[in-house]
Every structure is written in structure tokens, then in C-alpha cells.
Chain A
Amino acid sequence: MTGKLLSIRGLTKAYPGVVANSDVSFDIEPGEVHALLGENGAGKSTLVKMIYGLVKPDSGHMVLQGREYTPAEPQAARAAGVAMVFQHFSLFDALNVAENVALGMANPPKTSELAAKITDVSEQYGLPLDPWKIVGDLSAGERQRVEIIRCLLQDPKLLIMDEPTSVLTPQEVEILFATLRKLKAEGTSILYISHKLEEIRALCDEATILRLGKKVGTCVPRDTSAAQMAELMVGSELHRPERAATVPGAVRLALRGLSVTSPGQFGTSLKDISLEVRAGEVLGLAGVAGNGQDELLAALAGEILAKPGMVVLDGAEIGAKGPGARRKMGLLTAPEERLGHAAAPNMSLTENALLTGAEREALMQNGFLKWGKAKSFAEAIIKRFDVRTPGPETAARALSGGNLQKFVIGREVMQRPDVLVVNQPTWGVDASAAAVIRQALLDLAVGGAAIVVISQDLDELMEVADNFAALNEGRLSEIRPAKGLSMEEIGLMMGGAHGLEVAHA
């Protein structure tokens, strides 16, 4: 076992009804960037939580630098030299950067010293950051820097990064990679979790691939093609969504200088957004999280009302109309957050079908509900979209992410929308469910609907979109045909490196 930084042997963790990890073993060398690759739900998160002391394994053991390693809590993991950057940041919006960093350290120095240290480290690694800024006001990329610097200040031997690039523009990804390579050169090992194959090929020395909680293989990413890795990861060949060619029709949805104020304290207000979507067209909107996606969806759904003339559906002005009226007119939406926004967690699928379908599917009459009809509607969604559930009486929260997402998207698709707007339609969804959802969106477009797909997954957008634009700090870039766009161009549309050029100049 000499030379290994961390050896993982036979880690197993079961939750009721699901085995998250089963007998997983691999080693991480000092100064190695080790990829942990797998689909959503493959058990990557549980595995790293065990390494970070947040979850205790049922069986198996770990050896860190030759010593038995059983972290009882994250503090113990940090003391042993293991640090972690979370996918959903473990940050506190109302506190400033220095306070956030201090919370991640065992013995933080005085605030003034800490602030100086933060400035030092951030300059050293090319991650500019103001220690006195309130974290809630930072961009997603800057927030990630807070997490990374919090880790770096503890001189970790192993840095765990959970899907770090999902919140970055391509340019920011390059900067992150430069930082990680620098760390590697200094002898720090990195456990890099992702499902993005090209990134792993660009960065990692070795990859461990998980599928359904089990290790299904290892490879050297540089010497392995993306297709080979994908097959290991998914276990079967992927169905690529396909579509018949369509000729764009009349303009169905138009935004004219849409500006609205975000209702949230740390939200992003929309500034002067103009776009047109035609019948049969899929418009893809990229953007790093927190650049106005939620607000745009809310403004289209009618949760946030706009001034007259800003939102036009099939020639009719609808800016002042609420969600119910817009639905009635044919504009349907599906927000990003499944539990609590698109669906009520504790309510049954029948009730959740009623949530948006009451009017269009005639599930009520004079305000009185037709439960039988609502149930049939829920059953129809379940059937057509292959939602795995015991039945329509099941509570929404009992469904897996992928199945609930199929239900939520299916609910809108089955109502035959004229315009459908979806935000992160396949976020956290396994590949097969994602393919079903994308296919459904494309089929709708072929049928003459106008589709707006807001997504942070560039691959997804390139796959489904005819036209492409990006949101950046509440503004929309110019709209360009998706075909032929380079990563460089997309990155610039997304806002480039968010102020980093200035810092580097």
C-alpha cells in the first residue's frame, strides 16, 4: 500500500430500497487527478460523502497515507487533509466571503488576518475574490471560488470536487483547470466527479466508472475515447434524439424589451430581453446558474408579471396575465425545481396532474373538480412517458428525480401547448429518461409548437436547439443559429470569464 494517498476497499452503503454503493474499491495516488465518472444516480455523491465523513459506510474501509481512515464527521476529514467543494455550494448567502471561509476551517485566524490570507491565495491561484463581499451577491463562478479557497487554505492532500464545471462558462472552466493543474503540480491529489467526458479526458489521469452503485471499470481517460467511456457509464448505446426537418412558421412567442425585477433578495433582474420563437422552432438558452433563468421562466409562466407589450403570445399581449390565463391561451411552462415548484411533494400524482392541467384538460366544471378525470389524465401521463411508479395515488416525493421529471414534462407536453418553456428539463436525470424528455420536446416542435429550452447543459442545447442564445446577468446575448457555433463563441455569449480577464490584465 505504499505510495497511495487514499485506498478505498469494498465500500458499501445501502438506503431503504436502494443500494447507493456496493463494494467499491479504488486507489488515489499522490498528485493524481482521479475522475469518478457515472450517470446521475450512479452513487458518486454517496461515495464522496463517505470519504468526507458525512455518511458512514455500512461496510468496507479506507486507508489514508497508510493509516486507517474512518472520518466520523467532516471536521475529522478536514483534519486528516481531505477537503471538498460541493456541487450545491455549502455557502451562506447573508454572510461575507471571509465568514464563509472561516466556517469551513477548524481554527480560523482573526477575520482581518483571514481576509489577507484569502486575498493572497486567491491571487496565487488566479481566483480573484473580495473577502468582504456578501456571498449572496456573487456569481456562481465566484461562489465556487469561495469554496475552493476555503479548501485551499487548509492545505489539503486530497481535494474532492463534485461536478465543479456545471456552474461555469467554458472560459471559466479553462481557468479552473489551470488552477487544478497547478495544485496537482504541487502534489495535491484531486478526486474529480463528473459525467462530462471531454472534461475528464482533458484533465484526469485515471478514471473510476460507477454504474448503479457498482464500479464497472477503470480507464486512463487520455487513451480512451468518449464513446467508450459513455458505454461503460451508461451500459448500453445511447438513443440520440432525432427530429424531422421543419420549416419555421409564424412567430408564436415574442419578448419585447422584457425587464422585470427579481422578487428574491439575491435574485437576478431581467434586463431588456427581446426574442422571437417561431412555430416548429426550438430556441436554446444557455447560461451559468443564477443569471436570470428562474426569473425568465417565472416571467413567462406569469408568476412575475410584466409591463404591457413585453410578452406577446400569438400576437396577443399577455404581460399582465397570470399563470392560469396564459395556460389557457396555450403557453405552458415547466420550472427547474421539481419538488416544491413544478410539483407539490406530499401530494399525489393525480393532484399534481391537476396542478397545471385543471383548465386545459377540463378537469373541473364551475370550479368543482372531476377526480376521476384527473386520475385518468395522470394515468395517461404515466403510461405515455413510462413513469415508474406504483400508481397515480403515489406522492410526488416518492418518485425518483428522473421519473418525476418525466411526469412534470409529460404533464405539460400532453396538454398540447402552443408554446412550451422548460428550464433544465433533464437536470439530475439519468440518460435514458433524458433522451425520452428531449425526444418529446422535439416531437412537439415538429407538431408546430414553439419550444424554449433553458439549460445549463451545453451538450443538451446543441442536441435540441435550432437557435441559440445565452443569459448573462439578466441580459440576453444575440440569438444565433446553433449549428456551427464553436465552444469559444458560446463561452463569450455566456459572458466569458466573468471579469477574470480584467484580473489577468
Chain B
Amino acid sequence: MLTLEKRPQPSKALSYITPVLAVIVTMIAGGLLFAALGKDPVVAIRTIFWEPLFGEFASYYRPQLLVKGGPLILIALGLSLGFRAGIWNIGAEGQYIIGAICGAGVALAFYPLDAWYIFPLMVIAGALGGWAWAMIPAILKVKFGTNEILVSLMLVYVAEQLLASMALGLMKNPEGYGFPGSRNLQQYPAAFNGELIAGTGMHWGVAAAFIAAIFSYILLNRHILGFQIRLTGEAPRAAKFSGVKPARLVLICMGVAGALAGMAGMFEVAGPSGQITLSFNVGYGFTAIIVAFLGRLHPVGIILAGLLMALTYIGGDVAQSRLQLPAAAIQMVQGMLLFFLLAVDVLTNYRIKMTKREVA
């Protein structure tokens, strides 16, 4: 019979290996799923993971990697701080939406003025919007001990309704022939978040993601605040004993996560998406949770995981158009990835041993 035996300390090597292992197992399970859907599993896996990078139209798909990976990485970096400290902000999707609304709001307010300061103002507004939205669960947690998981999640649904209200009301394009949706910011140069280097997909949001990754790395590895965040996650009582103020940490972690998610939303609405519409949000805020865990809550890991997850989005689109693979199948594969990751994670902290039947 198999039993688990706690390792004296977590295995470093395995903490690097397990994400890779999870990806491999997911590919196998995904292949089985595709086969069950009547597709050739090898072709499907190849289409998803290989075509966008090295296939015939790779030059078209590759930039998408950064376009889709940028927001995922930016949001996941913020979430990872809280997750490390045991603070569960799972409402990034809402913070992303509010950031986009605020950013777009600034742009639309200035329209059609052409001034250099409009875009920076939008970035600030987006960050502030996401921050404020995240402060609601944070303050309620600090003041009343309210569960931040549930509150931040409820606020996603509220944000979605707000988005609808904006797309149909306040921000509706007056020249849009009555269709829902705002003006397209791609056609408003002062607000447009275009490619910084043509053909790469690199826009300001991607740049922000990489800058955030560097800051996050320094914070976690070199700064006392990062140490306090890790300590709180590992042993909350020890953290308190050490002098950490839990309330302060909640406000910081939730605030940073909200601001980054808000910025991600703003960069998206000003760039790749272009306008506030009913279907503006596509679940980046939730996928970023997978990215954060898959990246081991580590900045470098999150960049890699974000790019991988972006690949599944792009590859999923390709597979959808070429093989008629349903989009839901890809969504399921993404969910599976987190499952397998959590499952193989046990190896980091425990050894599996074959034993005679043991009285538990």
C-alpha cells in the first residue's frame, strides 16, 4: 500500500520539476480528451502547443503570445503576493474590469483632445480603479474580518453588471448607431496603447508586466516586506510574533494585486480590445490564478507560466478554427493543469512509500 511520508524539508528540485510534470500529464490527459471528442490527439496537441510557435503562420501568432501573456502575467504577479501570504484575492477579474472602465473613462472624457498626458493619466486611473475595487474586500477583511474570497468574488459579478451598464449607457459610442459599446480607442491616438515594436505584440502592458516581475523578484527575495509576506503565508502566528501587522499586509497585497489587475484591464481596453463592450472581459482574472500557481508564485515562474497559458489560448483558437475543437475543451484543459499541478505538488513535501498495510 502507498503511504505518504513527510519530508524533513521541502524538496527544492521537485518544486521545479513538478510544474513541468503537471504540464506533461495535462498534455496526455488533454490528448485523451481530444481523442474522446473524435479528434486526432497528436494533431490536436501539436496544433495547440507547436503551431503557434513554429508552424506555417507562426509569424502571425507569435506576437499574440505577448498580447495574451501580458495581462495574465501582470495580474498573476499581483495575485502571487497575496497567495504567498495566505490572502486570497480571487476577484482579479472584477478589478481588471474596473481598471478598464476607469482607464477608458479618462480617455473618453478627454476625447477628442490630443495631449501627451492622456495616456499616463489613463494608466493611473486604471491602477487606481483596480486598487479601489480591491480595497473593498481588503478593508472589510481588516475592519470586520469578512472573508475576502467571497467578497472579492461577489464583486466580480457586480463589476460585470457595471461593465454592462457602461457599455449600454454612460460610455456608449454616440456615433455607434445604437450598438452597445464605447468608442474604439484604437482610433484615438492619444489614448491608444499600440505596439511599441512593430510585429512583436509588445505594448505598454507587456512592458509593465516585465517591470512588475523585476520589482516582485526584488521584493520577495531582498526586502523585509517580501520576507514578511512569505512568513505570514508559512506561519501566521510566527509572523505576528515577528512584528508583522497582518492588517497592513492585507491592504498592501490586495492593493498591489488590484492595481496591477486594473492596469492590465486598462492596457487591454486601450490596446488589443479597443473598447468597452459587454464581452470585454474574457476570464484573464481567473486564468491568472492558474498562472500564479503554475509559476510557483515566483516571478520568473509566472512569466513562463503566463506565456504557456497564452499559448493555450492562441493554440486553442487555432485548433478551434482548423480542427473545430470546441473552445470549452481548451478551458477544461486549463482547469486540468491546475488540478494536476496541485496533485503532483504533494511530491514536494512528501515522499511516497510502498509499505505493508499500516494502521493509520
Determine if A56 and B9 form an interchain contact, defined as CB atoms under 8 angstroms apart: no
The answer to whether A340 and B238 touch (CB under 8 A), given A346-B10, A355-B231, A398-B9, is yes
Contact with B along A336-370 (1 / 0, CB 8 A): 01001111111100010011101000001001110
Determine if A356 and B242 form an interchain contact, defined as CB atoms under 8 angstroms apart: yes
> Would you give the shortest CB distance from B145 to chain A, in whole angstroms?
12
Tell whether B241 is near chain A: CB-to-CB under 8 Å.
yes
Q: How far is the CA of A54 from the CA of B358 in the complex (A)?
A: 10
Provide the residues of chain B in CB contact with A54, threshold 8 Å.
359
Determine if A395 and B9 form an interchain contact, defined as CB atoms under 8 angstroms apart: yes
Which of A223-231, A244-252, A322-330 lies at the interface with chain B? A322-330
Contact with B along A363-406 (1 / 0, CB 8 A): 01001110000000000000000000000001101100000000
> Would you give the shortest CB distance from A82 to chain B, in whole angstroms?
15
Q: From residue 1 to 37 of chain B, which have CB atoms closer than 8 A to chain A?
A: 5, 8-10
Closest residue on chain B to residue A399 by CB atoms: B8
Determine if B243 and A56 form an interchain contact, defined as CB atoms under 8 angstroms apart: no
Q: How far is the CA of A345 from the CA of B10 in the complex (A)?
A: 10
Determine if A342 and B234 form an interchain contact, defined as CB atoms under 8 angstroms apart: no
Tell whether A292 is near chain B: CB-to-CB under 8 Å.
no
Determine if A346 and B227 form an interchain contact, defined as CB atoms under 8 angstroms apart: no
A-B contacts counted at CB < 8 A amount to 83
Determine if B225 and A367 form an interchain contact, defined as CB atoms under 8 angstroms apart: yes
Determine if A346 and B243 form an interchain contact, defined as CB atoms under 8 angstroms apart: no
> Would you give the shortest CB distance from B352 to chain A, in whole angstroms?
13
Q: How far is the CA of A53 from the CA of B358 in the complex (A)?
A: 11
Provide the residues of chain B in CB contact with A364, threshold 8 Å.
224
Closest residue on chain A to residue B6 by CB atoms: A397
Q: How far is the CA of A341 from the CA of B238 in the complex (A)?
A: 4
Residue in contact with B240 in the complex, picked from A16, A56, A303, A325, CB distance below 8 Å: A303
Tell whether B211 is near chain A: CB-to-CB under 8 Å.
no
Tell whether A466 is near chain B: CB-to-CB under 8 Å.
no
Determine if B8 and A397 form an interchain contact, defined as CB atoms under 8 angstroms apart: yes
Residue in contact with B222 in the complex, picked from A302, A356, A368, CB distance below 8 Å: A368
Which A residues form the contact surface with B (CB < 8 A)? 16-17, 53-56, 72-73, 301-303, 322-325, 327, 333, 335, 337, 340-347, 351, 354-356, 358, 364, 367-369, 394-395, 397-398
Provide the residues of chain B in CB contact with A356, threshold 8 Å.
241-242
> Would you give the shortest CB distance from B225 to chain A, in whole angstroms?
7
Chosen A-B contacts, 5 in total, with CB atoms closer than 8 Å, are A342-B238, A343-B238, A355-B238, A368-B222, A397-B9
Q: How far is the CA of A398 from the CA of B6 in the complex (A)?
A: 10
Provide the residues of chain A in CB contact with B227, threshold 8 Å.
351, 354, 358, 369
Q: How far is the CA of A229 from the CA of B225 in the complex (A)?
A: 52
Other CB < 8 Å A-B pairs besides A340-B235, A368-B222, A369-B224, 4 of them?
Answer: A56-B358, A323-B241, A335-B241, A341-B238
Closest residue on chain A to residue B358 by CB atoms: A56
> Would you give the shortest CB distance from B83 to chain A, in whole angstroms?
15
Q: How far is the CA of A343 from the CA of B238 in the complex (A)?
A: 6
Q: How far is the CA of A327 from the CA of B244 in the complex (A)?
A: 13
Q: How far is the CA of A55 from the CA of B358 in the complex (A)?
A: 8
Closest residue on chain B to residue A322 by CB atoms: B243
Closest residue on chain B to residue A337 by CB atoms: B237
Provide the residues of chain A in CB contact with B241, threshold 8 Å.
301, 303, 323, 333, 335, 341-342, 355-356
Provide the residues of chain A in CB contact with B245, threshold 8 Å.
322
Provide the residues of chain B in CB contact with A358, threshold 8 Å.
224, 227
Provide the residues of chain A in CB contact with B358, threshold 8 Å.
56
Q: How far is the CA of A347 from the CA of B230 in the complex (A)?
A: 9
Q: How far is the CA of A358 from the CA of B243 in the complex (A)?
A: 11
Determine if A324 and B243 form an interchain contact, defined as CB atoms under 8 angstroms apart: yes
Q: How far is the CA of A284 from the CA of B5 in the complex (A)?
A: 40
> Would you give the shortest CB distance from A214 to chain B, in whole angstroms?
23
The 10 closest A-B pairs by CB, nearest first: A395-B9, A324-B243, A398-B8, A323-B243, A344-B235, A56-B359, A344-B234, A341-B237, A344-B238, A355-B242
Q: How far is the CA of A266 from the CA of B5 in the complex (A)?
A: 33
Determine if A347 and B8 form an interchain contact, defined as CB atoms under 8 angstroms apart: no
Q: From residue 196 to 248 of chain B, which have CB atoms closer than 8 A to chain A?
A: 222-225, 227, 230-231, 234-235, 237-243, 245
Provide the residues of chain A in CB contact with B225, threshold 8 Å.
367
Provide the residues of chain A in CB contact with B359, threshold 8 Å.
53-56, 72-73
Determine if A395 and B234 form an interchain contact, defined as CB atoms under 8 angstroms apart: no
Contact with A along B143-162 (1 / 0, CB 8 A): 00000000000000000000
Determine if B243 and A327 form an interchain contact, defined as CB atoms under 8 angstroms apart: yes
Determine if A346 and B9 form an interchain contact, defined as CB atoms under 8 angstroms apart: yes
Q: How far is the CA of A341 from the CA of B241 in the complex (A)?
A: 7
Closest residue on chain A to residue B351 by CB atoms: A16
Q: How far is the CA of A322 from the CA of B246 in the complex (A)?
A: 12
Determine if B238 and A368 form an interchain contact, defined as CB atoms under 8 angstroms apart: no
> Would you give the shortest CB distance from B219 to chain A, in whole angstroms?
10
Q: How far is the CA of A160 from the CA of B359 in the complex (A)?
A: 20
Closest residue on chain B to residue A338 by CB atoms: B238
Provide the residues of chain A in CB contact with B234, threshold 8 Å.
344-347
Provide the residues of chain A in CB contact with B239, threshold 8 Å.
344
Residue in contact with A394 in the complex, picked from B9, B231, B237, B243, CB distance below 8 Å: B9
Q: How far is the CA of A347 from the CA of B358 in the complex (A)?
A: 30
Q: How far is the CA of A1 from the CA of B263 in the complex (A)?
A: 80
Provide the residues of chain B in CB contact with A368, threshold 8 Å.
222-224
Closest residue on chain A to residue B226 by CB atoms: A369
Provide the residues of chain B in CB contact with A301, threshold 8 Å.
241
> Would you give the shortest CB distance from A326 to chain B, in whole angstroms?
9
Provide the residues of chain A in CB contact with B231, threshold 8 Å.
344, 347, 351, 355
Provide the residues of chain B in CB contact with A72, threshold 8 Å.
359
The answer to whether A323 and B5 touch (CB under 8 A), given A344-B231, A364-B224, A367-B224, is no
Closest residue on chain B to residue A344 by CB atoms: B235
Closest residue on chain B to residue A327 by CB atoms: B243
